[in-house]
Amino acid sequence: MKKGKKLYEGKAKIIYATNDKSLVIQYFKDDATAFNNQKKSVIEGKGVLNNRISEHILSNLSQIGIKNHLVKRLNMREQVIKLVEIIPIEFIVRNVASGSITKRLGIEDGTVLKEPLIEYCLKDDKLGDPLIAEEHIFAFEWATKKEIEKVKKMILRVNDFMIGMFRGVGIKLIDFKLEFGRLKVNGKDEVILADEISPDTCRLWDSMTDKKLDKDRFRKNLGDLIPAYTEVAKRLGILHEQSNVSAVNVTKLSSVKRKRK
Ligand code: UDP
């Protein structure tokens, strides 16, 4: 497969064309942003970890029948994905109240919700990804009723699977963000899971201590983001004690290579 020109650069990823029109390459950057791009930094090695963790979760999800855009991981920072038309909505799934909902509604941080709560935000950086109601989605035709029904079913399955997967390794899944895209299959649009699932897009707390193992370490200046993401990867069985050392070395190597370019 040949890597073509850059099609799109987002806050944490770059998308490149390939010689196959239906496939693109997704490159994971080390850039970290928060609070609608107001806080920015480069955290060396973050992209490598997110690439591995997202690959692990998405390939496990496809094994339980949740269709998604991942084709295969290519290397430390890149994966081949199916080109989809992204539905312009961020689907936020909450099991425990934390982050924006606590401020918006005055709910105490850490409140366990009786049922998972799905919130919708319009994907629009200029507007600061505003919270919207399901009615807005239909009023402005961002997605059809049929699509949202299917997405909601998929979200609840993803959530159940991920709660169990993380619980098994001593991590509480507090909340996360999902994105979906449309794919043409035999002339018909099919909705599949897209984007990434990683500690950048989930809140993950250690089950025993509530230690934050996610991007809140960056948002709240807690430090030690790489050790936390590495801990998540190790617990999921992606990095082993020894390969962890080599992963760090490869991270260093890849940054040396980048600097030389
Ligand atoms: N999230 C994300 N991208 C966004 C907004 C939120 O991945 O643009 C994730 C975030 O990491 C958290 C969950 O969605 O796991 C809920 O985020 P929240 O609405 O609390 O926003 P925040 O407090 O991060 O601004």
Same-domain pairing of 39 and 65: yes
From the CA of 236, how far away is ligand 1's center (Å)?
22
DSSP β-bridge partners for residue 86: 181
- Please tell me what DSSP assigns to residue 68: B
Which residue's CA lies nearest to atom 7 of ligand 1? 201
Q: Report the domain count for the chain.
A: 2
Same domain, residue pair 36 and 140:
no
pLDDT digits (tens, 9 = 90+) for 20-34: 999 999 999 999 999
| Spacing, Cα 177 to ligand 1 middle (Å) | 6
Percentage of the residues of the chain whose pLDDT score is greater than 70: 92
Report which ligand 1 atom has the smallest distance to the Cα of 174. Answer: 15
- Residue 215 included in any domain: no
Distance from the first to the final alpha carbon of the chain: 22
Q: What is the pLDDT of residue 253?
A: 42
- Do residue 108 and residue 159 come from a single domain? yes
Asked whether the predicted pLDDT for residue 3 surpasses 80, the reply is yes
For residues 102 and 180, membership in a common domain is answered with yes
Q: What is the pLDDT of residue 257?
A: 44
Q: Is 131 in the pocket of ligand 1 (CB under 6 A)?
A: no
- Domain limits at 112? 87-206
Q: Cα–chain-centroid distance for residue 135?
A: 25
SS3 label, residue 104: helix
Q: Is 195 in the pocket of ligand 1 (CB under 6 A)?
A: no
Q: Which of 160, 179, 206 is the last residue of a domain?
A: 206
Q: Say which CATH number the domain at 63 has.
A: 3.30.200.20
Rounded Cα distance, 83 and 178, in Å:
16
Say if ligand 1 is within 6 A of residue 178 CB. Answer: no
pLDDT class of 240 with cuts at 50, 70, 90: confident
Q: How would you class 74 by CB atoms within 10 Å of its CB: exposed for 0-12, middle for 13-18, buried for 19 or more? A: middle
Residues 78, 106: one domain? no
Q: What is the CATH number of the domain that holds 198?
A: 3.30.470.20
Q: Are residues 256 and 199 located together in one domain of the fold? A: no
Q: How far apart are CA 221 and CA 160, in angstroms?
A: 30
**Residue whose CA is at the smallest distance from ligand 1 atom 10:** 201
Task: Name the band, by pLDDT with cuts 50, 70 and 90, for residue 246.
Answer: very low
What's the pLDDT score for residue 258? Answer: 47
pLDDT at 251 over 60: no
Ligand 1 atom closest to Cα of residue 214: 11
